Chains A and B, each alone.
Chain A
Amino acid sequence: MTPRTLVAVIFLAGQVVLVVASQFGAARWFNWAPHSSQVQYTIVASADGRPLDAGEVSRRFGLAATGWEAHAVRNVQDIIVQYARTHGRDERLTVELHYSVNGRPGQVWTWPADAGR
């Protein structure tokens, strides 16, 4: 087996691991799960006690303030948590994520209270 072929085998095997491993969690990153669920969401956030408008939410999280996520609600939560713990750690961020997964009754997830759930 040439080094090139060995890298190809590792590359493909890595994808298999990601597909299987994703079943043990709620997030859907790099696991060949295109349009795996339909999540309707709205992000309501404030920084240092000041409510953020839709543009400010979008600039921070890279997501529309209101929209559809086609992978998993945990993906949206992961993005919010990552921003809050890195770039937004000095701005006393509070976030309410209102969401409905595949038409189920709406739920609310909040940062920082629900982080880790």
Chain B
Amino acid sequence: MTWTALNPLRLAHPELPPALVIAARIVTLALILRGDSPFRVHLPVVGLLDAVDPAGLDLATRGAAGIGYVLVLFSPLVRLGAGLSGSAYLLGLLACRPCHSVAHTFVACLLLVVALSSGATGTRVLRAQVVLLYAGAAFNKTFDVDWWNGRYFETLLIARHDHTLYAAATTWLPEGWLSIAMGLLTIVTQWLLAACFLRPRWTGAGVVLAIAFHGGMVLLLNATFGPFVIALIAAYVGLTWPDAPPARPASGSGWAAAAAWMATRPAMVLLATMLITSEAFGGLVRNVSLVTLSLALLPLALRDSRRIT
């Protein structure tokens, strides 16, 4: 093994497509900078874990996650590292029922699907995971009457967040229309996202729709839902990153080509991840930065995505 194999900007891997390597590194870097770690034992989902020494289990999960981080970022053993840290996060979720978090579940699943992928499966397992996320969310909402009658958004934005912009907007429309429209729009959007990510050809459209959908929610609620949004960005990168780096655009070939080329530089993407997930920014700036990073990745999503995945 040479020193270059330890370079975190080197995405070439004997078993994994570069897309999955960069996806695992984005989410790992974000977890480190956010200071996230597997949840500690408290009222476990799996009763068996109640019999385990809590301090020992905490040490094991945090140790496994830490070793996993190092392997993902600084070694060719990306699958082993992603498997270790993904399993540690999943075990943390199973060890703490009150800590239940869709964001951390998605982080764990993202790392585990990288660990379970290979050259033969390419990005298909990640694609299936993203489809499941959106289809599951849409399925749950479709069968919940409060997403159809406007009660959900009325409670979220008025009772919980006292959202002045939403309250002002409701005065311009007949009573209940806005909350009903937002509920229906969310259900339709999530089904559409599941459909878009199902087909490699529609992935670009899916990323654009997802950025509009999640970016809108981030700005509306001024929240990134823990590591959820950065994990989503990592997944979108994992579904759009080219197998081979594109040629550097000739000068004068247009900003879109230059932006697409820049968006495929691991250094730039990891630096952006580092900046927006660090403690350097306050909530609003960080959230706006996350949306900006999503937008900066648009050229990557909009390039020809007909490669077989």
Q: How many angstroms from the CA of A33 to the CA of B137 in the assembled complex?
A: 5
Q: Is A37 an interface residue (CB 8 A)?
A: yes
- In chain A, residues 80-95, which have Cβ atoms closer than 8 Å to a Cβ of chain B? 82-83, 86-87
CB <8 Å contact, B133 and A32: yes
Contacts of A29 in B (CB 8 A): 45, 97, 100
- The contact of A5 among B50, B116, B146, by CB within 8 Å, is B116
Q: Is B139 an interface residue (CB 8 A)?
A: yes
Interface size class of A (residues with CB under 8 A): 35 or more
CB <8 Å contact, A31 and B132: no
Contacts of A102 in B (CB 8 A): 146, 151-152, 154-155
Minimal beta-carbon separation of A33 from chain B (angstroms): 4
Q: How many residues of B are in contact with the other chain, CB < 8 A?
A: 45
CB <8 Å contact, A31 and B100: no
CB <8 Å contact, B140 and A36: yes
Q: How many angstroms from the CA of A98 to the CA of B140 in the assembled complex?
A: 25
CB <8 Å contact, A37 and B132: no
Q: A38-B152, A62-B42, A79-B98 are in contact. Are A7 and B132 (CB under 8 A)?
A: no
Contacts of B42 in A (CB 8 A): 62
Contacts of A79 in B (CB 8 A): 43, 97-98
Minimal beta-carbon separation of A22 from chain B (angstroms): 7
Q: How many angstroms from the CA of A31 to the CA of B132 in the assembled complex?
A: 10
Contacts of B113 in A (CB 8 A): 8, 11
B114-142: contact bitstring with A at CB < 8 Å (1 yes, 0 no)? 00111011000100110011011101110
A14-43: contact bitstring with B at CB < 8 Å (1 yes, 0 no)? 011001101100001111111111101000
Question: Which A residues form the contact surface with B (CB < 8 A)?
Answer: 2, 4-5, 7-8, 11-12, 15-16, 19-20, 22-23, 28-38, 40, 61-63, 68, 71, 75, 78-79, 82-83, 86-87, 101-104
Q: Mind listing 23 A-B residue pairs with CB under 8 Å?
A: A2-B118, A7-B116, A11-B116, A12-B128, A15-B136, A28-B140, A29-B45, A29-B97, A30-B93, A33-B137, A34-B103, A35-B156, A37-B144, A38-B156, A62-B42, A62-B96, A63-B98, A68-B160, A79-B43, A82-B43, A102-B146, A102-B152, A103-B151
Question: Which B residues form the contact surface with A (CB < 8 A)?
Answer: 42-43, 45, 47, 50, 93, 96-100, 102-103, 105, 109, 112-113, 116-118, 120-121, 125, 128-129, 132-133, 135-137, 139-141, 143-144, 146, 151-152, 154-156, 159-160, 225, 228
